[in-house]
A and B are shown apart, each in its own frame.
Chain A
Amino acid sequence: MSFAPKFFTTAESLVDSLDKRLLVLLRDGRKIIGVLRSYDQFANLVLQDSLERVYVGDAYGDLERGVFIIRGENVVLLGEIDEEAEDALPLRQLPFQDILEMQREESEKKARRDKLRFQLLHKQGFSVDFADNDF
């Protein structure tokens, strides 16, 4: 019986996505859009001309990020951006500062709602686990 490492040919390949503009969803919920220049078997990625896009309500804002090297374990999915659909987005683009404002308001509102929910659940005898990391 052989002890040699097995090299399975993968049907999967990101080579078709190279040099394409992709949306990368990260485990912390961030959306990075950039051109895929390189990848490896762990799905570590090198993105060029990337921007971080933040969505709030019916608007979004972009922040220039330049070259990004993303460690594969943080990647949720890669999406190929359809340029036509991009142009026809029903969302409006706002300057990043405004989006940050909106996001802060949203998270404050959410924090108040969650606090209320936790209190109600607590009265019923439930304990809510607040792991504030992934997703």
Chain B
Amino acid sequence: MKEAQQQKTEYYIHDALASDIQDSDAMLFYSFFKTQVGQQVTVELKNDLAIQGVVESVDQFLNIKLRDIRVVDPERYPHMLSVKNCFIRGSVVRYVQLSPATVDTALLQDAARREAQPVAAPARA
């Protein structure tokens, strides 16, 4: 299970790096969130609303689609009572709380280091 997750992660990070090397657009978080699809997360928004749900999909703007949602403080947000799935605009997210078991930190650190390198290289040439 852990290996499958690791393979997924490696694939996505490789996918991101295989594209144009001079492209400094960091797709690292997009790739990282793609590995979180199917995992339960809690998204805290800038308006203090916190929504727990399973990640259905994510896109390049880090918009997140959650299914089977549960609002953390339902009394304050009665309008969310009849909502089971939602699309959250990336720009309004403050935090995404995840389970540490689903994250391979060594792989992430590695990918982050690799993303930083190509930006340094052209400066020397």
Interface residues of chain A, those whose CB is within 8 Å of chain B, are 1-2, 6, 8, 10-14, 17, 23, 25, 27, 29, 31, 43, 53, 55, 60, 72-73, 75-83, 85-86, 89-91, 134-135
Q: How far is the CB of B10 from chain A (nearest CB, A)?
A: 18
On whether the beta carbons of B79 and A135 are closer than 8 Å, the reply is no
On whether the beta carbons of A43 and B89 are closer than 8 Å, the reply is yes
A55 to B77, CA, bound (A): 9
On whether the beta carbons of B48 and A86 are closer than 8 Å, the reply is no
Most buried by A among B23, B51, B65: B65
Type the 1/0 row for B75-90, where 1 means its CB is closer than 8 Å to any CB of A.
0001111111111110
Residues of A within 8 A of B30 (CB): 8
Q: How far is the CB of B42 from chain A (nearest CB, A)?
A: 14
On whether the beta carbons of B86 and A79 are closer than 8 Å, the reply is yes
Cβ contact of B87, chosen from A14, A29, A83, A135, cutoff 8 A: A14
Q: How far is the CB of A55 from chain B (nearest CB, A)?
A: 5
Answer whether residue B21 sits at the interface, using C-beta atoms and an 8 A cutoff. Answer: yes
On whether the beta carbons of B78 and A23 are closer than 8 Å, the reply is no
On whether the beta carbons of B47 and A76 are closer than 8 Å, the reply is yes
Interface residues of chain B, those whose CB is within 8 Å of chain A, are 19-23, 25, 27, 30, 34, 37, 45-49, 51, 57-61, 63, 65, 78-89, 91-92
Cβ contact of B84, chosen from A17, A25, A85, A89, cutoff 8 A: A85
The 5 closest A-B pairs by CB, nearest first: A12-B59, A79-B83, A85-B82, A135-B47, A10-B59
On whether the beta carbons of B87 and A60 are closer than 8 Å, the reply is no
29 A-B interface contacts by CB (under 8 A): A1-B20, A1-B21, A1-B22, A6-B19, A6-B25, A11-B59, A12-B59, A12-B60, A12-B87, A13-B57, A13-B59, A23-B80, A23-B82, A23-B83, A53-B79, A55-B78, A55-B79, A60-B78, A76-B88, A77-B51, A77-B89, A81-B82, A81-B83, A85-B82, A85-B84, A91-B81, A134-B46, A134-B47, A135-B48
Q: Which residue of A lies closest to B67 (CB)?
A: A80
Residues of A within 8 A of B47 (CB): 27, 29, 76, 134-135
Residues of B within 8 A of A31 (CB): 79
Q: How far is the CB of B19 from chain A (nearest CB, A)?
A: 7
Cβ contact of A77, chosen from B27, B45, B58, B59, cutoff 8 A: B45
